[in-house]
Structure 1
């Protein structure tokens, strides 16, 4: 599995998405259920009330017994990708990759996998000035639409307010919602959005992005930190603050995961230095569970 920075270096989102996903898709198959689809599966004895159009009359003529032809139809679902594109997603790791760039690649790979599984895919990009939304479709042109929307997305501003988010949470359509975010919030605005999405659509999977230099505090010497959304700055000595940072970070991450699961979200922490393997595998697992 190629690293995210190698995939980003391709400067080709469709190719990067396919390369990130194709290893996991090897051996993965669509879930199927019995029905009246096009692909023949098996015969079943006729029961009163069955649709007579599905009777196999040739078999009945040969055997003097009545059987229905059962088929297999692909089960699918709607996958709604929600990408946080606020300014905090511009944070860069030591490998030079920003959270937004990682999030773009991740969403593209998830869209590719979902499309290969026969699902309808939607995308919403969260901007303070308004939502960029592509409604769910399963046609051949949806992936290029998604790739273009992702490739032309920049991270700016603070998290959208309730009025801006209202059209998103007003849509009540069953879906697997996958939210890619750094969970940077001031007054619980991310949690409120996720709660409303769960009420509107059902299952919510949160992919929480953290850079390695945040998780391991790899900074050295005198460092000036700047809040990318407010512009506030803080100067400190990284060596002196490393232990305190790590002592506070781990309890916060544990509390965040615990809170997410208490509210009914599926939660996964992702290190932006790592491949997308875990996130893609988790999507396939949850898709299989819901199919």
Structure 2
């Protein structure tokens, strides 16, 4: 196929896949830079799940109790006054958190009202979250893309893996996830809510904690179209032409928010969190909200979230 300026355009399935892979490979480095910038703005004061236990890092001094091992006494600290103190260490057991972003064609959408495409925002959120979690010593993985790793450069390794991974569509395969883990899913979730819950329900029954961030373009909520308008399904290529698009607005918005409400209620009933986020809002809003949930402080997750 030849486009209007004479360039040959490969519209075969393999050509479309290659084009999408190249576009994503070009997008990821910029998203990584933006992710680090956002992570640096929100990381202050968030220190993961630090608590007393077995580890190497000093936690605190406390008075000695009868029956405790004498080897735990800190004699230098105890010599300062008339009390005997033991030296507690910080609990160190890295938690596994799986991150996934929908990179299917519908995520490429960006209206004139959105700051960035849904795909770009999803990648920035995932990489920024990986950056913060890696600094906190957590193990980071991505289903089907990267096995869990505990490393300071986990976000960079995830970005590299995404550049070379196959295109992702639908929800991820979670068969490789074992034990008690957290799963963060980022996408537009435009499929019917019952179909999504059918996929996610078994994960909740396995004891997995989940956090869903729904990324939406402002136009998808407001439906700002009028007059003759042609709509194209980015997944199938099917087209719908409306002679007067404005007469569809009320029914569209009713259906759109009913789907969101149904999905949110289903997730909360399962014990998961649901965070709607628009691309014309700051990425840090959704990031702070999911951070608070991962840290066990949902009461403070007030930025851009729906609890």
TM-score calculated relative to the size of structure 2 = 0.75
Q: Whole-Å Cα distance in 2 between the matches of residues 113 and 62 of structure 1?
A: 39
Indicate the residue corresponding to 2:97 in structure 1: 79
**CA deviation vs aligned residue, 1:250-281 (integer Å, no higher than 9, x gap):** 33322222222123321111112211122211
Task: Indicate which of 183, 196, 199 corresponds to 2:202.
Answer: 196
**CA deviation vs aligned residue, 1:166-201 (integer Å, no higher than 9, x gap):** xx2352222221111211326944323322332345
Q: Whole-Å Cα distance in 1 between the matches of residues 273 and 124 of structure 2?
A: 21
Indicate if the aligned counterparts of 1:87 and 1:155 stay in contact, CA closer than 8 A: no
Q: Whole-Å Cα distance in 2 between the matches of residues 70 and 121 of structure 1?
A: 27
Q: Whole-Å Cα distance in 1 between the matches of residues 257 and 81 of structure 2?
A: 70
**CA deviation vs aligned residue, 1:4-63 (integer Å, no higher than 9, x gap):** xxxx99952332111112222223334421234322510331432x34432335567898
Matched, 1:93 2:104: no
Matched, 1:285 2:304: no
3-state SS of paired residue (2:241): strand
Q: Whole-Å Cα distance in 2 between the matches of residues 153 and 188 of structure 1?
A: 29
Matched, 1:148 2:160: yes
Task: Indicate which of 205, 219, 223 corresponds to 2:225.
Answer: 219
Change (3 A) 1:216 1:173: same
Matched, 1:104 2:116: no
Q: Whole-Å Cα distance in 2 between the matches of residues 227 and 70 of structure 1?
A: 59
Indicate the residue corresponding to 1:242 in structure 2: 249
3-state SS of paired residue (1:32): coil
Instruction: Provide the aligned length of Structure 1 versus Structure 2.
Output: 270
3-state SS of paired residue (1:34): coil
Indicate if the aligned counterparts of 1:104 and 1:150 stay in contact, CA closer than 8 A: no
Indicate if the aligned counterparts of 1:225 and 1:233 stay in contact, CA closer than 8 A: yes
Indicate the residue corresponding to 2:275 in structure 1: 268
Runs of 4+ in structure 1 deviating by more than 6 angstroms, as ranges, are 59-65
Larger relative CO (CA 8 A, sep 6+): 1 or 2?
A: 1
Change (3 A) 1:152 1:216: farther
Q: Whole-Å Cα distance in 2 between the matches of residues 154 and 148 of structure 1?
A: 12
3-state SS of paired residue (2:271): coil
3-state SS of paired residue (2:110): coil
Matches within 5 A, 1:1-291: 12-36=30-54, 37-48=56-67, 50-57=68-75, 67-73=85-91, 76-94=94-112, 95=114, 97-124=116-143, 132-151=144-163, 159=170, 165=173, 168-185=174-191, 188-200=194-206, 202-236=208-242, 237-289=244-296
Indicate if the aligned counterparts of 1:172 and 1:201 stay in contact, CA closer than 8 A: no
Structure 1 residue runs without a partner (length 5+): 1-7, 125-131
Over aligned residue pairs, what C-alpha RMSD do you find? 3.1
Indicate if the aligned counterparts of 1:42 and 1:69 stay in contact, CA closer than 8 A: yes
Indicate the residue corresponding to 2:20 in structure 1: none
Q: Shift of residue 136 of structure 1?
A: 1.5
3-state SS of paired residue (1:207): strand
Change (3 A) 1:105 1:91: same
